[in-house]
Each structure stands twice: as C-alpha cells, then as structure tokens.
Amino acid sequence: MANTLLDTVWDLHTVRRLPNGETQLFIGLHLVHEVTSPQAFQMLAERGLRVRYPERTFATVDHIIPTDQQQRPYADGMAEQMFAAIEENVRANDLPFFDRSTGRQGIVHVIGPELGLTQPGMTIACGDSHTSTHGAFGAVAFGIGTSQVRDVLATQCMSVAKPKLRRIEVNGRLSAGVFAKDVILHIIGSLGVQGGVGYAYEYGGTVLDAMSMDERMTICNMSIEGGARVGYVNPDATTEAYIEGREYAPAADDFQRAAAWWRSLASGPGASYDDVVVMDGADIAPMVTWGINPGQVTGVDDVVPSPEALDGPDRAASEEALEHMSLEPGRAIAGIPIDVAFVGSCTNARLSDLHEAARVARGGRVADGVKALVVPGSQRIRAEAEAAGLHEIFREAGFEWREAGCSMCLAMNPDKLQGDQICASSSNRNFKGRQGSPTGRTLLMSPAMVAAAALAGEVADVRQMVAS
Amino acid sequence: MSEGAVIDRIVGRGVPVRGNDIDTDRIIPARYLREITFEGLGPHAFEDDRRALNGAHPLDDPRFADAGVMVVNKNFGCGSSREHAPQALLRRGIRAIVGESFAEIFFGNCVAIGLPCLTTTPEHADALQALLEEAPDTDLTVDVEAERVVTDHGDYPAAVPASAKASFLTGRWDALGQLLENTDEVRATSARLPYLTGFGGESS
Ligand code: SF4
C-alpha cells in the first residue's frame, strides 16, 4: 500500500514516541511573530534556555503593526512595547528578523512561502492557527499555542498526536467568478466547522491540480476553520515552479535533487485514507457567510436559511447568529448592505488576489458611505502590485491603499469595525467581535466579491459584474 | 526531570456556559493579546459576551463566583490558537472543563498548562448544566483517572484521551521536560532530513 505524504513526512520527522503515546516530532521550520512569542521567550529565559536551532527560526511582525501610519514610536504604547519585546528577543537569540527595514516584512503565512522558506516535506510550526496555509506546498504545518512555541524554541520539537487523514477531492471545473475562497467556504459549509477535528485534510482533484500556489494557499489556510489543524496539497510541477529561484529555495545545484525528493513525497494513487470526500467544482457558487462562524455560509444567489429547518443545538446556533447579524431568514444574500469592505489577510492578500479585486474595481467607484481598504499581505506584494499599477486602480476607485499587515482581520491594530457595521471581508473569521467591535458583523467572501460589494454598497454577485 | 503536579481529580463548584462553537475570540478578545504577559487576563475572560448580556452571563452570576469547573457544549475553543484563552480561564480559577467536544489546538493548549478538558455526551453536558443552574452550590468531583464527573445528584461519564490522561496522571503535562531529554536523537533526526543536508548532494 502506497504511503500518504502525511505518513512519509511524519515518519521522517519522528524523534520518538513519548510515554503518553504522542509523537516527539522534529520541526523543520519555526515561524515567529510578535503576538504569541513574548511569553514563550519569557518562559525560555526563566528556565535558562536559549533558542536551540536559531537558523531554523524566522521572525516577522504582522498582527499589531499599523497599516496606515508606521513611524516609530507608534502612537499606541502597547504596540510599541510588543515591538520592543520581539526586537529584543530576536537580538538576544540571533534570529533572522524580517521587519519593515528589510523590505520583506509581511503576514507570517504570506512571507514564509514568498521567501522560499516554506518547502515540501517540511514540518512547520507557528504560534498561529493559520499555519495550515503552508500545507499548500506539501508541508505538514501546525498552528500551536504559546507553551508549544516555547517547546519548539527550546528543542525544535513538539509533542503531538498524529491526526487521521481525510482526502477532499474537488473535481470538474469552477465557473467564472468562482475562486479558491469559494471552494474552501463550500467545503467548510458541507463538512462543518468541527468536521475536521482530529483530521488532517489532503486536498486534491482536478480543481486543485489546476490551481496556482496562491489559490492552494487560500484553501489550506482555512483548514482550521473546518476544524482541521493541518491541511495540505501534494507537491507537483506548480509547486516546484513557484519555489525555484526564491531567496531560501534550494540552490541551483541542489534544485533537481530537491524537486525529485518533493515529487517522491506525494501520496500514491493506492494510498489509503481514513475518509474520502468528493465534490464537484461545478456545484460551487460565489459564497458568502451569513452567520458567526465560517460554516454558516451559502451561495450569493441563495437566501439566508431559516433556523426552523435545523434542529437542536444547530438551530439555537443559527438563531443566535441571525440575531447578531440582524438578518431575517429568507432574505436574499445579494443586496445585504455593507459599511466596510476589506481586501486583505493571510487568506486573500497575495498578488493574484489583489489582481482579481482590481479587475472588479477598475473604472468603478466605491459606493457612498462605504469605507474600503486594500491591505497587501507583504511589503513585497505591495511593491509588485504598485509596479503593476494596481494601487492606482484601487485609489481611483476610492479604496485606501495600505501597508502590509493583518489589519482588519483581527482587532489588534487601529483597523477596526465601529458599532454594528457590516464588513464584506476577504479574511477567514466571522466570529462575533473578531473585527474589533463586539457588535460588528462580518461577511466572508472572495476578494473579487469584496470589491464588487464595495462598488455596489451591498453584497453583489461578481459573476454579473465581470460579465457586464 | 522537573515536572508539574499530578492532576487526578478536581473538586469544586461548577459554572455552565452554554453554546456550541464558542471561539477563542469570544473567550478572550484580541485586544488582550496586546499584553506581553498572561498575568492580568483572568478578569477579561468572556468580556464582550458578558458586556453584551449586561450582567446576565454565568460568569457574572454571583452564585457561580468561585466555580472551578466549567461545563460547555460542542466545539468549545475553536478558532484562533491563542493560548491566552485557556490562560484567561485558568487565571479566573477554572481548573477543569467538561464539554461535548473541544477544538484541537485549544485542547492541546489546555493540556500544556495543566487544565484538563473532559468530553461527555450532549445529554450529560445538558444535564450537568441544568443541574448547576438549578443547584449552583453542587460540588463536582472531576475524576480524571476514573473519567467521571461525580455529584450528589448523579454521576456522569466524561472521557479524557489516553495521551492527555497519561500526562495528567504522571504530572508530565508540560512536555518541555521530556522534549529536552534526548538531544542526541533530535540531532539524529535532523541529520536525516534532506532539506537540512543539501538534498543528498556532495556539498553537504
Ligand atoms: S491575517 Fe488574520 S488570520 Fe492571518 S495571521 Fe493575521 S490575524 Fe491571523
């Protein structure tokens, strides 16, 4: 029986089985950001330990960094303190640090791949649940908590149970106006927000095969929203082409050997899975969430579902969601008015995402009363977008063009919803309060759909806007 | 190796926090992630939910003021990996959580800080919550070893996965000590990784 990529990578990185039955797993790449690391460095110092593999540990700043005014010291004293902490910690431990002065700063899950740090066959950890993003390259990548960040800093290992494996195959073709974001929202809507607990997800099928690395990253990014801590795509020629020539990619002399090894890792045709789910890409419409978790989602041409169709706790959950969202069951998703439009986050702030949003925004005008912002995922993406003139398209249409960071994906920097504003957002979480106001409301959708909503002032079907 | 305390049973009052898919943004809003220590988090647990309910949240109910056991429903702790969530609960005095199911990263974070999460059926979670709502002064014994929650009014099975159970009962729930034990094996593992050794080329 052929092995899966998960089996092969897991075995290769297994140091030993711990007495409690978990695996002591070696972590090939550890990414660090300002928010979940200060306590970990503190715990390390308290035990008199140092970073064990500084050359496999890379740091950046993304969550708390303001994306409008970036002069130091920051007006926000707590942000300033958090920056001072990471600067001191990387200095004391000799860690490579991609801060703004390097031109390589950005959202940790955007810059890892962009710099070529993220490669197939690696185990990767980061104190952030969207570490699953890196699985797009055929890496096994985990989001971890702060105590585990400490463990990985101190030992380059973590204690972890091997997950079961579910293959999710999306075949056929996507319609125009349907993007990777819609595919993953569709998957989460079908399997539920806890359907993946205890599983890793292996994504495949003709739709995934045809996807760019940017698109595969969007899919893997939101694995955790479906409950799966790990999600990956088997490496192929697309993966190799993306990595080749990047700063931390294998050197030219090594590249062919590296690529041959990467290809050998892919799950074989005869591999066995704990579960297999097959979906048809043609069934997927542009998706929009109507509730307070990413599984509460439907097609833009659909209506807000009625809780009465559900029973028990699911019914209570959807009643709570509709109350928070102030949405009536049965109302059309298209036409829900919005106050804010946010293109950004580790899910959808890569160059191709900005291109798709710009294609919709070009020549249009953000609706009166709507605040619209575009926040590139990294300094490099920002520069590339500017070289392509995207910033002009956005600005002319009335979008703010920001510096790189997490921005309005979460409420740790100045970009926040006010009161009960509704935000069309290309990010990954529509939890209550996620975007900074306890009563704020989030509608998750693709970047093209966000741009369409910004122009229309309400949720709009991007398929009609690009067709016309 | 220096390890934590053995955690085999937790005795205390309980607090019911009802609802499925309660995410870690709700357990501790992101604005409290701006602190560089976990110390002051306790009072801010569930802050936005509590504010929205204007004193009607169970954590604001004086009858549950000294609860050490939280009883929850399905997929508790989903979303962000922030350890701030279990740290806030721990610092509020929560010593065990009993619920229908837990999100994976949250569960692991709880193990790492010595906060057992026990899984029970929807019926038993509901019965325990109802019991606490009726009789808030009920004493609960969360028995990690026997995998039960025992009260004067009834006795409920509540499972702990084998690996977590072993960690709690041996006091080795903080993994760091064990991970530091075998540096030679760690080195041997890293030495067989193609991406750390030039992919088998001569240069390595
Ligand atoms: S963009 Fe959002 S989800 Fe991604 S790392 Fe930043 S805060 Fe987390």
Closest-CA distance, B150 to chain A, in angstroms, reads 25
Closest-CA distance, B18 to chain A, in angstroms, reads 10
What pLDDT, on a 0 to 100 scale, did the predictor assign at position A462? 97
Sign for the pseudo-dihedral over CA of A311, A316, A321, A327: positive
What is the DSSP code (8-state) at residue A305? Answer: P
* Contact assignment for B83 to A433 by CB distance below 8 Å: no
Residue of chain A minimizing CA distance to B33: A35
Q: Which residue, by CA, sits nearest to atom 6 of ligand 1?
A: A406
B204 pLDDT tier (thresholds 50, 70, 90): very low
**C-beta of residue A254 within 8 angstroms of C-beta of residue B202:** no
Asked if A143 reaches chain B (Cβ–Cβ under 8 Å), the answer is yes
What's the distance, CA A373 to chain centroid?
Answer: 18
**Complex prediction ipTM:** 0.92
Q: Which residue ranges of chain A lie beneath pLDDT 70?
A: 1, 466-468
Residue of chain B minimizing CA distance to A438: B48
Residue of chain A minimizing CA distance to B48: A438
Atom of ligand 1 nearest to the CA of A344: 1
What pLDDT, on a 0 to 100 scale, did the predictor assign at position B4? 79
**C-beta of residue A4 within 8 angstroms of C-beta of residue A273:** yes
Asked if B193 reaches chain A (Cβ–Cβ under 8 Å), the answer is yes
What pLDDT, on a 0 to 100 scale, did the predictor assign at position B1? 39
Residue B22: CB partners within 8 Å, gap ≥ 6?
Answer: B72, B73, B75, B76, B77, B78
Asked if A398 reaches chain B (Cβ–Cβ under 8 Å), the answer is no
Out of A85, A128, A156, closest to residue B186 by CB: A156
What pLDDT, on a 0 to 100 scale, did the predictor assign at position A310? 82
Return the CATH fold of B9-173. Answer: Aconitase; domain 4 (3.20.19)
Out of A12, A143, A312, closest to residue B193 by CB: A12
* Token code pair at residue A206: 């003709």
* Contact assignment for B190 to A156 by CB distance below 8 Å: yes
Percent of chain B beyond pLDDT 70? 97
Q: Is the pLDDT at B43 greater than 50, yes or no?
A: yes
In three-state secondary structure terms, A11 is helix
Asked if B4 reaches chain A (Cβ–Cβ under 8 Å), the answer is no
Q: Is the pLDDT at B6 greater than 70, yes or no?
A: yes
Q: Residue A154: list chain B partners with CB under 8 A.
A: 176, 179-180
B2 pLDDT tier (thresholds 50, 70, 90): very low
Q: What is the mean pLDDT of residues B75-82?
A: 94
Q: How far apart are CA A246 and CA A240, in angstroms?
A: 11
What pLDDT, on a 0 to 100 scale, did the predictor assign at position B57? 97
- Within this chain, domains A5-160 and A164-234+261-283 share the same CATH topology: no
- Span A164-234+261-283 CATH architecture: 3-Layer(aba) Sandwich (3.40)
B3 pLDDT tier (thresholds 50, 70, 90): low
For B:89-108, CB contacts with A below 8 A are 101, 103-105, 108
Q: How far apart are CA B160 and CA B108, in angstroms?
A: 12
pTM over cut 0.90 = yes
Length reported for chain B:
204
Asked if B37 reaches chain A (Cβ–Cβ under 8 Å), the answer is yes
Amino acid (one-letter) located at A53:
Y
Out of A21, A38, A154, closest to residue B180 by CB: A154
**C-beta of residue A443 within 8 angstroms of C-beta of residue A336:** yes
B95 pLDDT tier (thresholds 50, 70, 90): very high
Atom of ligand 1 nearest to the CA of A349: 1
Q: Residue A410: list chain B partners with CB under 8 A.
A: 25, 30, 80
Sign for the pseudo-dihedral over CA of B78, B82, B85, B90: positive
Out of B52, B192, B195, closest to residue A438 by CB: B52
What's the distance, CA A417 to chain centroid?
Answer: 20
What residue segments make up the domains of chain B, in order of their start?
A: 9-173, 174-204
Pairing of strands A340-343, B69-71: unpaired
What residue segments make up the domains of chain A, in order of their start?
A: 5-160, 164-234+261-283, 287-467
In three-state secondary structure terms, B43 is helix
Asked if A249 reaches chain B (Cβ–Cβ under 8 Å), the answer is no
* Contact assignment for B109 to A193 by CB distance below 8 Å: no
- Quick one: A287-467 is in which CATH superfamily? Aconitase, domain 3 (3.30.499.10)
Four-way CATH pick for A5-160: 3.40.50.620, 3.30.499.10, 3.40.50.360, 2.20.25.90: 3.30.499.10
